[in-house]
Chains A and B, each alone.
Chain A
Amino acid sequence: MLLKKKKTKGEAEVPSSSLADIAFLLLIFFLVVTTIDVDTGIGLVLPPLSDEPPPPIRERNMLKILVNNQGLILVNESPSALRDVKDLVISFVDNNGEDEELSESPQMAIVSIKTDRDTPYDIYIDMLDEVMGAYRELRDAESRVRGFRSYEQYRTYVDERGLEDEIRDLYPQKISEAEPDPGV
């Protein structure tokens, strides 16, 4: 009897004091994980509607890109391959008045994109991607001159200190999207 009593006295409980902590960890895990999925895409700002006619733009400051319903690309009326668009945009924007035909300065350069109503969407996006790539390359190059790894790094640097984004002002992305031609 004496022996038996001793045995029952020794409690064999599983330590449960850390259960709350484990549950907390799981809770935090789920809170974090469920917001990780970020949307990606090409950001643009549409021009506001206004009744006034657009301000006159000099011919040389506008790069006209046209994508027709066959998915063929015309840059300033000459047919171009998709992979050449980026270089064309870079030389157009970063011309700084050197070439008579191209833009006077990056701030004045406007890329005008025109599509037909039945232009395939994916070709349009591919072309827009190239134009975005051109601007990114220019901004990255300028960021490297200022001692940053990339424009993205410069942006976080600027955001943290609340400074003016000078590179964006230097290479503003002026993309104008004209109304599509009504297809025949």
Chain B
Amino acid sequence: MAHFKKKAKAKQDVPTSSMPDIIFMLLIFFMVTTVLREVELQVRVQLTSATNIEKIEQKRLVSYVYIGPRVLGANRYGDTSVQIDDDLVEDYRVIRRLMYDKLREQPKLIVSIRVDRESEMGVVSDVKQELREAGTLRINYSTRRDPI
């Protein structure tokens, strides 16, 4: 019996005094890292609004294409340009390759096309044609919800 008592006396607690600090570290880590990496836009994208829209719930499936007038500085805008990720696309045929690579990584890829409201259909359909070439057929015209 004496033997057993001795064992029970030995403290086996994990020290928890530093737990809050560890959690706070985690908290700060998440606060810093989960800030959505907004792409630095080089084109102006003022979305249009629509009523009959759907939500994209799986954000990881989405890849963005931005179309709009190029921002030249203080309230001046250039020609309509296409931006993918962080770069402007000069030659539309590049889209084909870019999107094909993305599709290989993510077979369920949805291409969200964010177009400025003052754009014209010509560029949009050129991009759409490239997307067809790439095989990324699921697209989404990004719009805001109409205030009812």
| Chain A interface residues toward B at CB < 8 A | 16, 19-20, 23-24, 26-27, 30-31, 34-35, 37-49, 67, 115-122, 124-126, 128-129, 132-133, 136, 177, 179-180, 183
Q: List the A side residues contacting B133 at CB < 8 Å.
A: 49
Interface size on B, residues (CB 8 A): 50
Of the candidates B55, B122, B129, B135, the one whose C-beta lies within 8 Å of that of A39 is B55
The answer to whether B141 and A30 have CB atoms under 8 Å apart is no
> Smallest Cβ distance from B122 to chain A, in angstroms?
4
Residue from A20, A42, A47, A136 whose CB has the most chain B CB atoms within 10 Å: A42
- Complex: A126 Cα to B139 Cα, angstroms: 17
Q: Is the interface of A mostly helix, strand, loop or mixed?
A: mixed
The answer to whether A117 and B23 have CB atoms under 8 Å apart is no
Give 24 A-B contacts (CB < 8 Å), ordered by A residue. A23-B27, A39-B112, A39-B140, A40-B55, A41-B112, A41-B140, A41-B141, A42-B50, A42-B143, A43-B56, A43-B110, A44-B140, A45-B139, A46-B132, A46-B137, A47-B137, A116-B121, A117-B120, A118-B122, A120-B120, A121-B120, A121-B121, A129-B52, A179-B125
The answer to whether B30 and A20 have CB atoms under 8 Å apart is no
Besides the known contacts A38-B55, A42-B143, A177-B125, 10 further A-B residue pairs in the complex with CB atoms under 8 A apart: A20-B19, A37-B36, A38-B57, A39-B142, A45-B137, A46-B139, A120-B118, A121-B118, A125-B143, A136-B52
- Complex: A112 Cα to B35 Cα, angstroms: 41
